[in-house]
Chain A
Amino acid sequence: MDLLIRVAGEAGQGVQTTGNLLIAAMAEMGLHVFAIQSYMSRIRGGLNWFDVRIGDAPLYAGCEEADVLVALTDEARQTLQPYVTDGGATLFDADPDADDTGAPEGCLCIPLTGIAKETGGSAVMANAVAAGAVFALLGYDLSSLTAYFATAFEKKGEETIEANTKCAEAGAERIGEAAAGSIDAPEPTGEAVSVAGGTEAVGLAAATAGVKFATAYPMTPATGVLTYLAGVDERYGIVVEQAEDEIAAVNMVCGATYAGVPAMTMTSGGGFALMAEGLSLAGIHELPLVIILAQRPGPATGLPTRTAQQDLLFALHAGHGEFPRAVFAPGTPEQAYHLTRRALKIAHRYQTPVILMTDQYLADLVMDTPPLDDRLRPIDRYVTTDAGEEYVRYAVTDDGVSPRALPGGEAMVVLDSDAHTEDGHITEDLEAHLRLQDKRMRKLDGLTEHALAPDRYGPPDADLLLVCWGSTYGPCREAVDRLRSAGRRSAMLHFGQVWPLKTRLVRRAVGLEGNDARPPDRIVCVEGNQTGQFRTVLREAGVGVEAEPLVRYDGLPFTGKDIAERILS
């Protein structure tokens, strides 16, 4: 069983703090957690909410209805109360001096802020009051919450711990005996569950892979990775620099990789558009450029704090001219960790740009994740250290990968953005141009050979196959579970690598070749854009998979229920 707690209020009211507090305390108790935020592009006011879904089994997505709504403003209550399940509860942060008779219908009015000021001496502790009240409502022992305060506020001192504890107790008390435990809640196991978020998974993977330089122009929802790396700069030895624009960022990364260190930049659609020329430069320079592309709905500025999967074809085709690239699209924090590391490895192995696509949903979600290795384990840069004076940067080889030396040694390392000869110098010799263009494109064969197979979830003999990529993993997986409960033999195919595709692997996973799976009767491609971009990719890759589209592009993520209901109707 599972339920969803939704904390909602204005930006700056502590919605996030309360959400994070619930995640930390509940995961510690042994509950499975899935959390996601919905917020507006503003620093104060508006309506933001933080969903914490808890369960006695792993959870992979959010849902539209909440079982418990903590409304910190009247707007939050009015907008979100219609989305509270039957039998659910709304805690409303009422004005302590207000007349009780004016309480909105169906609400438990608790002056969260009033109690915090009175008991804890600061309005900031309203989140502790709210957490205490939620715990009481769900019938959870407050000791887990107070134990969490003891660790979280250790540095702030005994006084803070005590004040928060008292606030939580006061919140629980206000629920009263009648309502305490009135909401049916999943049973905690007592064994702590490890959780992680998409942003930290990408950041940690980059830091441990040996990224030494990160630069970006701040842009939601990509900024978190830059912030993460800045927070661990001295631990891992990383220089983090805010660039004057995205053009500078991508060119700085090209420079840093030329000089020999793994480096990366991160942005969203608009910034990525500015990076397109730099991407093309890395293509002809043959540099291991890695870009994190955190998508949000466009066109142009679009919806800056919402989610989308609208930039797939753009990522595949950005940059003038033709050059090989790989594109990854993780679906969970765990995948984000492994695929970020892989993106860096592949970029270095093939000396060509790699793009890792995330989005607001993946960047902000937090869920059960096995502990991620935080030890520094630098990737192989595939550089040659014994190049002499006769060295040429672009020696023609069978696999298109030329021995790569770094500036500073005996070899002169010459790169040109113009067409060039093997030694890197500018040329208009068309034969040389063809030789090197073909050399570069041969790397696509290697990239394809190393392409990851899609992950299949569900039985091999499914009639219905849901195909998805990137952050749609979780909602699709839950949809498969729901469909199977409804008696539909369903499975999911998730692409963590969206380019290049290895035809044989894809056909086997779908069931069109080999004995791994039976061909499904119906294939549905589930994605967060209007035009069904991954369907186009499947066609372009010639894998022979024709899928019908199931799309969502309103700025919000899919839910399992949403997908399942649309399939069934």
Chain B
Amino acid sequence: MITPRSDNQPAWCPGCGNFAILKTLDEALEEAGTDRRRLVLVSGIGQAAKLPHYTRANVFNGLHGRALPAATGIKLANHALEVVVTSGDGDMYGEGGNHLLHAFRRNIGVKLFVHNNQVYGLTKGQASPTSDPGFTTKVQTHGVTLEPVRPLALAVMEGCSLVARSTATDREHLKSMMVEALKHTGGTVLLDILQPCVTFNDVNTYKWYKERVRPVPDDHDPTDFEAAMQVAMQWGEAIPIGVIYRSGRESFESQQPVLENGTLLEQFEQAAG
């Protein structure tokens, strides 16, 4: 049998933004003091979704688009676990769009890190839900005509607990956002991470992002819904990064009467003796 040898080296292209995200995640977990034994990394399918394989954690790599429901089940079964979804824009904003919408409404304590490179990597270069209009590919030969998904605005609208954006091109900023997310206890976190794709996206490059990203203004009040909506909708010449919205809602798990008696796992084990 001719077979490739088993190894666990990243399948990413040299220069891929995923390397920066992986390295930063490791640093952020360290800084936030996250116990790896209690950490579950959940992902779907795509190049970003392979990240959990390249670090030390419990891993649930599931189906394309279905990381959020799986993460929801994990968090409900044992809400003492730190459940982090780390996956791409196609997985989270495309295939898993319905789950995304309802996860924000549900507001369970799952941290969602979306590697958003505005293009499909694993399937080789088709448009993603966040591709800008006019973006041409081998499928979208006449350019994208669909309006891009605005994940941050969607999250703000549906009451996601913490909504933020960062970029793989600024690791210090990214780390601070990841630490903020890991320390957050109020419910769902969406951290949209702008990420260059060196192979399939020659529009939204390192340079393109670097020229456009800028911190949200100091006087931005993330608890102000309308201000947050405005910032969340900004795109183009200036792209805001930082904490955009805090809904202040109570988390899903904190509102379940049954969970007042401990995690479901503890309750099962107690009953089983």
Contact = CB atoms under 8 A, between A and B. Distances in A.
B29 interface: no
Contacts of B40: 259, 407
Interface string A233-260: 1100111010111011111111111111
Interface of B: 1-6, 8, 36-38, 40, 42, 45, 50, 52-53, 56-63, 66, 68-78, 80-81, 98-99, 101-102, 256-259, 261, 264-265, 267-268, 271-272
Interface stretch (A20-28, A173-181, A337-345, A414-422): A414-422
23 contacts: A212-B267, A233-B257, A239-B76, A244-B98, A247-B98, A248-B69, A251-B70, A254-B73, A255-B76, A255-B77, A256-B264, A257-B73, A263-B73, A263-B77, A277-B66, A278-B63, A278-B66, A407-B38, A408-B58, A408-B265, A416-B53, A416-B61, A425-B53
Given A239-B256, A408-B38, A261 B268 contact: yes
B258 A260 contact: no
Interface stretch (A429-437, A453-461, A463-471): A429-437
A231 interface: no
Nearest to B42: A255
Nearest to A409: B37
B66 A247 contact: yes
A429 B272 contact: no
Contacts of A428: 3-4
A248 B98 contact: yes
| Consensus secondary structure, chain B interface | helix
Which of A250, A255, A416 has the most chain B CB atoms inside 10 A of its CB? A255
Q: A-B pairs with the 3 shortest C-beta distances?
A: A255-B73, A259-B77, A251-B69
Nearest to B273: A378
Contact of B77 (A210, A249, A256, A380): A256
A256 B80 CA distance: 13
A259 B59 contact: no
Of the listed residues A237, A241, A257, A421, the one surrounded by the most CB atoms of chain B closer than 10 A to its CB is: A237
Given A251-B69, A256-B76, A261 B37 contact: no
Contact of A418 (B5, B6, B61, B101): B61
A413 interface: yes
Interface string A198-223: 00000000000010110100000000
Given A251-B73, A425-B53, 6 more contacts: A239-B259, A245-B98, A258-B70, A258-B73, A258-B77, A262-B268
Contacts of A258: 60, 70, 73-74, 77
A322 interface: no
Contact of B6 (A243, A376, A415, A427): A427
Contacts of B8: 425-426
Given A237-B258, A261-B77, A263-B77, A424 B264 contact: no
Contact of A251 (B4, B52, B63, B256): B63
Among B50, B72, B77, B102, max chain A CB count under 10 A is at B77
A63 interface: no
Contacts of B42: 255
